[in-house]
Amino acid sequence: MTLVNDPKISPPYPTATLDRMRPDFVWGVSTSSYQIEGAAQEGGRGQSIWDLFCRQPGRIANGDTGDVACDHYHRYRGDVALMRELGVGAYRFSISWPRILPAGKGKPNEAGIEFYDRLVDSLLSAGIEPWVCLYHWDLPQALQEAGGWANRDCAGWFADHARLVASRLGDRVKRFATFNEPSVFTLFGYAFGWHPPAVDDAASHHAAIHHVNLAHGMAIDVLRDYVIGASLGAIHNMQPARPVGSTPEDRAAARMLDCYWNRAFADPQMLGVYPDAIASRMSAACRDGDLERIHRPVDWLGINHYSPVYARADSASRLGFAWSDAPADAKRSPIGWQIDPDAFRNVLLDACDRYGLPIYVTENGAGAVELADASGAVDDRERIDYLSAYIQALEEAVAFGADVRGYFVWSLLDNFEWGAGYSNRFGIVRVDYATQARTPKASARWYAARIAAHRAKATA
């Protein structure tokens, strides 16, 4: 079954109740290194591809960069205290590869490793489980200059990065994800030009897809070797790929988007095969034995989900589709993303059927261009409505048998939202970027209450 959303397969689902979730359901918050750490030129950190991309005129709204971001590098103790107040059980964050390996490989940067050491110890002291993602898009610039993901050697460099992290943090960190949303950073970086390296080249795009998959498999083997009791996964953005029109060409375009968006990584990593529609395009980069190196056993599937994605037919497209906006009548969030919790429920059910692994929702949340009052308070009721509807949809999926074991809100803090810079805010905690003051929004209080209510039922 593909993830193309077909309305007729959405029967009336029962309204689940809180007690359908497992007693040990994991409630968390998510962030990523480039989006919150700041200290971009501090503590021995090397440059990432995003440091340079942000400096290319016109790439980022308002010319924003991650140079300071939320200054989490200096303020992490206060942020951990915020998480403790929320009552979250887990914190998903990513390791800045250029912070621990400034040249991407070779000599480690001890100051960078010490930052993550302190962060992990602070989390454990607060009773919060660290979930570490090894790659959330900030490739060391030095490796990009050596070909980046279009170079097969990058898979080995990533495995060495994984080995350093595992050897230094693996005594305390057991939950590891290899990549965050590989379909997004490869499509946006090698086809659409929206992310670095901002090329549109078929050979580089398909080589990058394959080398990231290879890197995933190699890193899984390293983590298994170095981390006793490791619980490993990968984080995929999974969203129904829908045709914006109703022609057979539009539906064919949606199926191609489904391949590149939902299946080009999840299928080889968890099923050992590329989707038929793109397998021939991977042949130039794929060597004998590669699919076995990629298809390594993982313990869970991380799903990031926001809203359906849309395609339209475009005979000139090398991909077999053109990216399209949602239909004009779609219900939308304040930043224009479609709101469709039924789609989320169907994605969870489809992924459970297709991959047969425990699922953790590793990102879900709503962006807004929201203003605070004089005290910094934000009464973000639209975000509460979004989170409530999507957690309800998660419960419906569980009621129908989906093995969903956790939910992480994106995001703990307002942060650097890639091309949108700081203009879009996804945090349940507001950040005043001028003062770096943190102010929990109404949604933070709602989320804390939701977690407490579940825990009360689970222990009743």
Note the residues at the interface with ligand GCO (CB under 6 A): 32, 35, 180-181, 184, 237, 304, 363, 410, 417, 426
Q: Least CB distance from residue 177 to ligand GCO, whole Å?
A: 11
Helices 341-355, 381-399: crossing angle, 10 deg rounding: 40
Q: Least CB distance from residue 106 to ligand GCO, whole Å?
A: 28
Q: Least CB distance from residue 386 to ligand GCO, whole Å?
A: 13
Say which of 42, 110, 181, 249 is annotated catalytic.
181
User: How buried is 300 (Cβ within 10 angstroms: 0-12 exposed, 13-18 middle, 19+ buried)?
Assistant: buried
Tell me, yes or no, if 181 is annotated catalytic.
yes
For residue 203, give both structure tokens.
């050979």
Alpha carbon of 396 to those of 21, 121, 404: distances in Å? 10, 36, 11
Return the amino acid letter for 192. F
| Cβ neighbours, 10 Å, residue 286 | 20
Say which of 37, 145, 363, 370 is annotated catalytic.
363
CA 417 to chain centre: 12
- Cα–Cα distance, 130 to 119 (Å, whole number): 9
| Residue number with CB closer to ligand GCO (313 or 366) | 366
Tell me, yes or no, if 363 is annotated catalytic.
yes
- Cα–Cα distance, 146 to 274 (Å, whole number): 27
Find the largest Cα–Cα distance for the chain.
Answer: 62
DSSP 301-314: EEEE--S-EEEE--
Q: Least CB distance from residue 306 to ligand GCO, whole Å?
A: 6
For residue 214, give both structure tokens.
């290879």
User: How buried is 169 (Cβ within 10 angstroms: 0-12 exposed, 13-18 middle, 19+ buried)?
Assistant: buried
For residue 301, give both structure tokens.
């599937």
| Residue number with CB closer to ligand GCO (227 or 303) | 303
Q: Least CB distance from residue 417 to ligand GCO, whole Å?
A: 5
Q: Least CB distance from residue 188 to ligand GCO, whole Å?
A: 9
Q: Report which secondary-structure segment, H or E, holds 242.
A: strand 241-243
| Residue number with CB closer to ligand GCO (34 or 226) | 34
How would you label 408-423 residue by residue, b for 16+ Cβ within 10 Å and e otherwise? bbbbbbbbbbbebbbe
Q: Give Rg (Cα) of the chain.
A: 21
Residue 234 near residue 269 (C-beta atoms within 8 A) = yes
| Residue number with CB closer to ligand GCO (5 or 333) | 333
Which residues pair with residue 322 across a beta bridge? 312
What residues have CB less than 8 Å from 81, skipping those under 6 apart? 126
- Cα–Cα distance, 281 to 202 (Å, whole number): 9
Q: Least CB distance from residue 194 to ligand GCO, whole Å?
A: 11
- Cα–Cα distance, 22 to 405 (Å, whole number): 7
Q: Least CB distance from residue 235 to ligand GCO, whole Å?
A: 8
| Residue number with CB closer to ligand GCO (76 or 188) | 188
Catalytic site residues? 181, 363
